[in-house]
Amino acid sequence: MSLRTGLLGYGIAGRVFHAPLIAATPGAELSAIVTADPGRRARAAAEHPGATLLGTSDELFELDLDLVVVASPNRTHVPLALAAVEAGVPVVVDKPFAPTAAEARRVLDAARDRGVPVTVFQNRRWDSDFRAVRSLVAEGALGEVARFESRFERWVPEVWDNWRELGAPEEAGGLLYDLGAHLVDQAVELFGPVAGVYCELDRRRPGVAVEDDVFVALTHRDGVRSHLWASAAAPHHGPRFRVLGSKAAYVSHGLDPQEEALATGKPFNDLSTYGRLGLLDEAEEVVAPPGAYAEFYRLLVAALTGGGPLPVEPGSAVRVLEVIEAAFESARTGKVVAP
């Protein structure tokens, strides 16, 4: 029997990522989709004709479901996750888990008290290029890593008419929450706890209400330094990854192709990226492992049906939020802040 899954939201997160991944996962069934927008409702009906279309979250929680996925605007993550926990239904929350670490802990406390599994969708742990970096670091192919550089840079000169561009704190908009949640998560996954955070936040585009140009420097407790960039105002893009070690470096460019494939309805499995590994001009091209976003839901089905580990331990998302909060404080004060 497949896990009957209800999806809250059919914007970019729900339509591009969650819906097709759920539909493609053995043991999972996309049973219901909540969206009040008529255009999105029509698109959801065409793309997932087997799903029930609903207009409110209250209607969703009246159904008999095995899993709820929160892919709605950031301000709704906490109340909807708490509603799922109260209903006793396992829940996936898209990143960022919550606007604050305190609110994320509130969800986890409620989940622990009710015995309800909660996990967070950190799909970019399964990016092709990140899988390559993780493997190279684990194998010692780079030697002792000194610095990890990671970028999500885009050229979007016009401000979007989208909640991600809204400045109210409860919206948790801006690039530090959006792309920064991925950047920080990947750095912490590779190199562990953070001792100090330095951050620069800027608003580059005319009329923008939130930061659209971000730099974060992390000093990990093991001494590795992570330098992280996110920008919507970058007319030139640096390397996606540049990892410098005592023996070699690894450099890659461009974004993992899974998102584009999912967005356009193309096959999204077995897509790899390329990088260069080695010393200076002697570096050689290497093929990264295939991207594997589908692994998130495969692992989740295994966890909920067979007792395996959740694909993302939710406490890790709390630690990411602690780093993000320290980054905001650093940008405000100009000082290095301990998370």
CA 60, CA 57: separation in Å to the nearest integer?
5
Confirm whether 307 is domain-assigned.
no
Domain count, the chain: 2
Confirm whether 213 is domain-assigned.
yes
- The candidate with the shortest Cα–Cα distance to 231, out of 212, 254, 256, 209, is 212
Confirm whether 214 is domain-assigned.
yes
**Do 146 and 279 belong to one domain?**
yes
Residues 8-63 pLDDT 10s: 999 999 999 999 999 999 999 999 999 999 999 999 999 999 999 999 999 999 99
Query: Per-residue pLDDT averaged across 332-336, rounded?
Result: 98
**Do 151 and 250 belong to one domain?**
yes
260 SS3 class: helix
In the predicted structure, residue 156 carries a pLDDT above the cut 80: yes
Global pTM reads 0.95
239 SS3 class: coil
Domain end, chosen from 121, 153, 171, is at: 121
Secondary structure (DSSP) of 112-172: HHHT--EEEE-GGGG-HHHHHHHHHHHHTTT-SEEEEEEEEE-B--SPPSSGGG---GGG-
We report the CATH number of the domain holding residue 217 as 3.30.360.10
Residues 232-287 pLDDT 10s: 999 999 999 999 999 999 999 999 999 999 999 999 999 999 999 999 999 999 99
**Do 240 and 276 belong to one domain?**
yes
Q: At CA 281, angle to CA 279 and CA 283, rounded to 5?
A: 50
In the predicted structure, residue 170 carries a pLDDT above the cut 80: no
We report the CATH number of the domain holding residue 29 as 3.40.50.720
Domain end, chosen from 68, 97, 121, is at: 121
pLDDT at 1: 77
**Do 96 and 235 belong to one domain?**
no
Q: Kindly indicate the confidence band of residue 153, based on its pLDDT and cuts at 50, 70 and 90.
A: very high
**Do 280 and 144 belong to one domain?**
yes
The tokens describing 283, both together, are 């570096």
Confirm whether 306 is domain-assigned.
no
242 SS3 class: strand
Q: Within 10 A of 96 (CB to CB), how many other CB atoms are there?
A: 24
Domain end, chosen from 121, 141, 164, is at: 121
CA 80, CA 73: separation in Å to the nearest integer?
11
Burial class (CB in 10 A: 0-12, 13-18, 19+), 235: exposed
For residue 267, give its domain range.
124-292+322-333
**Do 155 and 240 belong to one domain?**
yes
**Do 131 and 270 belong to one domain?**
yes
Q: 124 with 270: CB under 8 angstroms?
A: no
**Do 44 and 148 belong to one domain?**
no
Confirm whether 316 is domain-assigned.
no
Q: Write down the mean pLDDT value for the chain.
A: 96
**Do 116 and 15 belong to one domain?**
yes
Confirm whether 166 is domain-assigned.
yes
Residues 290-304 pLDDT 10s: 999 999 999 999 999
Residues 13-26 pLDDT 10s: 999 999 999 999 99
**Do 113 and 133 belong to one domain?**
no
**Do 138 and 282 belong to one domain?**
yes
CA 247 distance to own-chain centroid = 31
CA 249, CA 145: separation in Å to the nearest integer?
9
**Do 110 and 132 belong to one domain?**
no
